[in-house]
Amino acid sequence: MRFTAVGKRVPRLDGPEKVAGRTQFGADIALPGMLWGATLRSTHAHARIVRVRTDKATKMPGVLAVITGQAFPTSDGEGVPVLARDKVRFQGEAVAAVAAETEEQARAAASAIEVDYAPLPYVADVREAMKRGATRVHDESEDPKHPNIAGVAEVKRGDVEAAFAAADLVFEDTFETPWVHQGFLEPHVSLAAMDPASGRLTVWTSTQAQFNQRADLANLLHLPMSHIRVIGLPVGGAFGGKNAVCVEPIAAELARRAGRPVKVVVSRRDDFFATRPCGASVMELKTGVKKDGTLVALQARLLFDTGGYPGAQHGVGASLAQGPYRVLNMDVKSYSVYTNRPPAGARRALTSPHVHFALESQLDIIAHALGIDPLQIRLRNALRKGDTALGGMEMPYTVAGKVIRTAAEKAGWQRRRRSSGRGAKARGFGLAAGHWSVWAGASSAWVQVNEDGTISVVTGAINLTGTNTSFAQIAAESFGILVERVTVHQGDTDTSPRNDGSWGSRVLFGVGEAVRRACEDAKRQLAEGLSEEMGVPADRILVSEGQVSVRGKAGRSLTLAEAASRAADYRGAIIGRGALSDLPFAVAVAAQVAEVEVDRETGQVEVKRLTCSQDVGRAINPMSVEGQVEGAASQGIGYGLCEEYIYGTDGTLLNDNFMDFRMPTSVDHPQYQVALIEEGLDGGPFGAKGVGEPPLVPTAAAIANAVYDAVGVRVKQLPIKPESIVRALSGGR
């Protein structure tokens, strides 16, 4: 198939205004008569709320509204109360909020709210939380043995006991990952206004999921959805951290009570310690193999820290636990576990990076133990057609091996040279793979053919990663016109077709396909509108290359502009609709080779080169896809080497800012090499699938494996800290 618009390196349509600083983010917008909101947060990690006294705050200058947990009798869609009611379950949990004329007045009044706490012992670690007699985070738990289990998922397949018995070797390892922030630069922000006459609420917010916001706000505020308009703003980074409601209901309830618009900007500190970072994990793997490296059995116990409130970590963890490999006998138990930490949110690929750090590290351990090339052990076990994965789903999948081989080839795996073993700095190569499954969800789009043959696309999907640019390419391809002749609009919940959130790499896959279907629908309408005039049945009319012609009949053609205005005479506006939710899951595999340099004296690890290979189905915009791969991999470097929440003994987060929470900066980045495997899959637009999450999945493991390759030190705990390496190299001293 030859493409004219798809596969082109089109610069992001929203790029220039972002680069020039003209984009209006949440903090930039204001309304006449706007108030400021501020939140009082718990200083305890775990405490019963004895009393909240707001009388002093209410009387302070400029204060128009004060709310406490009573304002929200129900919790949000994730089970998190907007403001704590009976007790606080993590340090930083919101307890009360204030709206006042100025931000300073609001903060002062919030501080003046008096809360009497009865402190409780707290639990900060999933292993502790799983013990008998552990501190209960939720009193109402019904499991006396494991009161802190928030969710369980199990994957069982084959006969694990028998498989272990038949295995040549069995490996048991435990891996750990830390709490990390998603690293978005723009803090949460929300502005809410309620029309006093109609009672209709409008909320502007930096969110990944405006329709989900609407649903949550409807529940929390007891309003019908027809009374709520959520306007998703340009988002200054999210990575899963803006999936759920945050300060939106606080701003909305304050606005309702004060009768004036209220803006709430979350401080950097609060965004670190009190919103929804990515939770820690402890993963115990027991793997049986044959001497030739064939995986025969996997038993795993995965503990995901979900913080003070429920989460979905366990489900994803379990479903991806076999990696992109054939494992016929499995027994995986995966838990989300309550602790007195912030509620764990999503981060790019949710718990897949956790699980693959464990799996891919252990696979490396196995390869080295068996004396097999890490590349070969992966190729031997790679998923192939007919294999089952994802809890039993049969995989129509043949690309895993190719993706792994491509990364290795591009990185020069066969020619790689380990360091001499001498000198201060040692080089090493590490290979890892990983997978993610892309789910379309509710995806919809409208496409309109304007009278001059240009195209207008409307979706309700938040444009996080340049997907609007890809939509323009999809529409341009569908009609055979220039990308410049397409405009793509992100509407809000009142104005656009409903879409699920911009998460899970679903947007291009699902919404992109909705755009494509909407184009096909519009083309069908054009053909129907012109059928009589052109004197042939509609199905003989072809819309392509910006022309409308009769199939198999030369000469007779109209420009798209002519066709659009004539067809509209018969039918009114030409408006295509695409709406779907039923695409099959698309599995996407990524493989990466990290080339690192380890300083034996300081333990410092530097990633020199990162070679990434990925099955993308079809790269609608290769520049954009490469950007996603490099961006995710750079996040993986942070996860592998430096990012982690450091808590004090009283449960206080010590590194609650971007100075102390260290993310890679521009000088920390290696040379990236990206290879895209395009073996189009049915389902997504022109064979495309999601691309944003998979490339974060293998990175940390690839680095860990490279460190081992360089200096022979196996680090099983992220991040890989210099002190761990130095300690190991010096024999544990």
Which residues of this chain interact with a copy of itself, rule CB under 8 A?
13, 15-17, 20, 22, 195-198, 200, 214-215, 218, 224-227, 229, 442-444, 446, 448, 450-452, 454-456, 458, 484-487, 489, 491, 493-499, 514, 568-575, 577, 579-582
In the bound complex, what is the minimum distance in angstroms from residue 568's beta carbon to a copy of itself? 6
Residue among 136 and 489 whose Cβ is closer to a copy of itself = 489
- Residue 281: how many other CB atoms lie within 10 Å: 29
Residue among 398 and 450 whose Cβ is closer to a copy of itself = 450
- Residue 233: how many other CB atoms lie within 10 Å: 24
Residue among 35 and 363 whose Cβ is closer to a copy of itself = 35
In the bound complex, what is the minimum distance in angstroms from residue 492's beta carbon to a copy of itself? 9
End-to-end Cα distance, the chain: 61
Residue among 517 and 689 whose Cβ is closer to a copy of itself = 517
Give the pair of three-digit tokens for residue 386: 């007919």
Residue among 121 and 196 whose Cβ is closer to a copy of itself = 196
What are the C-alpha distances in Å from 249 to residues 252, 263, 385?
Answer: 5, 11, 47
Residue among 514 and 534 whose Cβ is closer to a copy of itself = 514
CB of 654 within 8 A of CB of 708?
no
In the bound complex, what is the minimum distance in angstroms from residue 192's beta carbon to a copy of itself? 16
In the bound complex, what is the minimum distance in angstroms from residue 107's beta carbon to a copy of itself? 27
In the bound complex, what is the minimum distance in angstroms from residue 505's beta carbon to a copy of itself? 18
In the bound complex, what is the minimum distance in angstroms from residue 563's beta carbon to a copy of itself? 15
- Residue 351: how many other CB atoms lie within 10 Å: 30
Residue among 38 and 233 whose Cβ is closer to a copy of itself = 233
Q: Is 234 helix (H, G, I), strand (E, B) or coil?
A: coil
CB of 136 within 8 A of CB of 86?
no
Query: Angle between the 699-711 and 722-729 helix axes, to the nearest 10 degrees?
Result: 30
717 strand-pairing partners = 176
In the bound complex, what is the minimum distance in angstroms from residue 513's beta carbon to a copy of itself? 10
Question: Taking phi first (over 0 means left), then psi (-120 to 50 degrees means alpha), and beta for anything else, what does residue 285 get?
Answer: beta
Distance CA(624)–CA(510), nearest Å, equals: 17
Which strand (E) or helix (H) includes residue 513?
helix 512-534
Give the pair of three-digit tokens for residue 47: 């405490």
Give the pair of three-digit tokens for residue 55: 């009388």
In the bound complex, what is the minimum distance in angstroms from residue 263's beta carbon to a copy of itself? 18
Residue among 106 and 574 whose Cβ is closer to a copy of itself = 574
Residue among 451 and 660 whose Cβ is closer to a copy of itself = 451
In the bound complex, what is the minimum distance in angstroms from residue 256's beta carbon to a copy of itself? 16
- Torsion angle of alpha carbons 28, 503, 513, 612, nearest 10°? 110
- Cβ-proximal residues to 394 (8 Å cutoff; 6+ apart), any chain: 386, 387, 388
Distance CA(548)–CA(539), nearest Å, equals: 12
- Cβ-proximal residues to 619 (8 Å cutoff; 6+ apart), any chain: 7, 625, 676, 678, 688, 691
In the bound complex, what is the minimum distance in angstroms from residue 261's beta carbon to a copy of itself? 11
In the bound complex, what is the minimum distance in angstroms from residue 186's beta carbon to a copy of itself? 20
Residue among 283 and 548 whose Cβ is closer to a copy of itself = 548
Residue among 574 and 612 whose Cβ is closer to a copy of itself = 574
Query: Angle between the 248-258 and 210-221 helix axes, to the nearest 10 degrees?
Result: 50
CB of 695 within 8 A of CB of 614?
yes
Distance CA(144)–CA(148), nearest Å, equals: 9
